[in-house]
Structure 1
Amino acid sequence: MMSDRAPMRSLHSLNNSSVNVMILDMFKYIADPSGIPRTVVAAVRRGGPDTLQLRSEQLPPPQPTEVQVEVEVAGVAFGDLLLREGLVPGLPYPRIPGYDAVGRVAEIGRDVVGLRPGDRVAVRTESGTGGYASALNASADLTVPIPDAVSSDEAAAVILNHVTAWQMLTRVTSLVSGSPVLVHGASGGVGRALVELAQHLGLRVLGTSSSTRMSALAGRGVEAFDRDLRWERDVLRREPHGVQAVFDGMGGSTARRSLQLLAPGGTLVEYGVSGVLRRGRRSALGLLGVAASAPRLSTLALFSRGISVAGYASSLFVPAHRQWFRDDLSALLDLLATGSIAPAVEGRIPLDEAARAHELLARGVGGKVLLEPAAVG
């Protein structure tokens, strides 16, 4: 357990702002001595990785339907970069990023059943925030026990990316084994999960990526297309009758160009707008580009072609369908335990180096990047 006298450490050299935050943290503890001390990383203002600061604060006891978890590893996600850059509305600064974490239950609320102290669990945070912490309070109905055969790193890799992919494949769309599907950004975090799970379900997978990653995709059994060339023409040459689903986390012109690839009954699933960032930073040009080049749809156009467009936002879908989340994550953990899937893990980084983790993600690493609170120096 961390000492309650541990001072705040910044990810960079201390400055006047850091000292002020440190003093505020000390007064918070004096004013509210309940709960336990914890370390978090928060984005203290809108901006780049340098806005992430290590802070000490108090974590209150769990609410009746919550569990308190001592975090072993916390996941880093593309959505954390959007949050840091101020592209997630309605959240004041400081903001603690983090959709997902793995750890052990330290305490349970009085109404919690099925979980007990000592259980190793996978946690999906309530609003997609709060995971970058040495301890956290989580909704019990978004917390799932981890089988002994599954490592903590493997479990952390599937909580967000694989659940997102699985739900888009099985709950947002209705796909039959053997159907062709197109995955944009097939070398990225969710893209890799989509490829792996689509193949597990017996689907034929086509994918776009940068030219440097096409051979790796082909090695995983994916029909790969260069995202910087006329991929829609090449996809139609390969699948002249079209594909049954397109999964797009980029938005803008990618979505518009993808519509022409859908077979009758096909679905375009939009789950992100990665085009609003450039090298991990908020981009005015990217924002304008995504907005200006987005597809203009009419009900008549959709009806006449027999196609549909669906949106998937994890931060909305998961809280609205909590039992689905528990069922789906449990199923994925079982697939991990039997070796049926093997998610890529980039590795662990100390919690106080979260800025480096964000820089890694901005460079496009495909494996899951994890933060480790216990490794803080």
Structure 2
Amino acid sequence: MMKKTWLRAGVLATVAIAVTALGVPAAQAQAVRLSWKPTVLPLPAGASPLGHGYLNGSDGHGEYTGSFIVDDKLQVVSWRGGEPVLRGVPEGYEWAMVAGEDSAGRVYGDALDYDSDNDRSFVLDATGFHLRENPAGFRSFQVRAVNKRGDVVALLLSDDPAASAPAVWPAGATAPTILSFPPGTNNVIDIDDDGAILFSSFERDVVWKNGVSRPLADIAGFSNPHGSAIRNGIVVGWASNANASQAVRWTTPEKATPLSGSDYAIDMNVGGLTAGLAPVPGSFRGKPIAWRGTTPAGELKQPGTYTGYQPTHVSDDGTFAGIASNGALDEGGVPVIWRLTP
């Protein structure tokens, strides 16, 4: 799945941990120092050398997909076996932003025609792009996330902001199901593989399933809990106070555990591998860090000479995907993946 809400960057000193699940004998575990080695992926012909894009999704089996500037258009690009495959944009459109990819390799996102301001969601499969009609009464179906089977959660926008609504387009369905916001919420963040939805609000995010809403709990010293991703009923995200933020893992919405040494958790895969950021004193930028569950799981190394880098997605194949840049990361960058190296 994919969520991309903010971008920050940095580096992190190596963390020594004991993780027997990695196949390391217990007697040697304390001596193991883990790090995640970066690979800057090649861009397709015609791409901006600066990338100016985002690597936002994967099928969990080694394919990675995102949106990058190619021939002055924001186009869909996939990497298979480490090589780029230019997937393009829907005919008549100049902009295609990937929101996620399911386990069958179908890609989901939004397309825009600059001249007409026409905004449509799409599904991209082996046969090409398939545009979806906006539901009656709404001008836009903005894809927020997709689960592994292809259920899409989106925000429906209306000319009347008060009439905006959440929606789910189930895999294989011909039309979306329009929902109501749980009280106090105003946006959607992610969808779990069982259909549970993570909703956001200014004060406290909510997990909704089968009509029942469960707000995320506070942790000691921090309130305003917000989630970034939900998998297997577990939420990762952050909470804050007047001076700082703290990364958090909720095993249920009511049970919160801080992720030590970090201020944000960004994304999580089906096995609980989590990407996030550790604070850097005196700097707005954070350092990329990883956890397995609540255990620190090493550093994400700097890609070459790029001064800024950040994971934005954790694939079910156990890799991190993201971008790197020597400029502002909120303007995109070049595609990077990180693999574990003892």
Greater C-alpha radius of gyration: 1
Flag whether TM exceeds 0.5 (same fold).
no
Q: Which has the higher contact order (CA 8 A, sep 6+)?
A: 2
TM, length-normalised to structure 1 = 0.28
Structure 1 or 2: more strand by fraction: 2
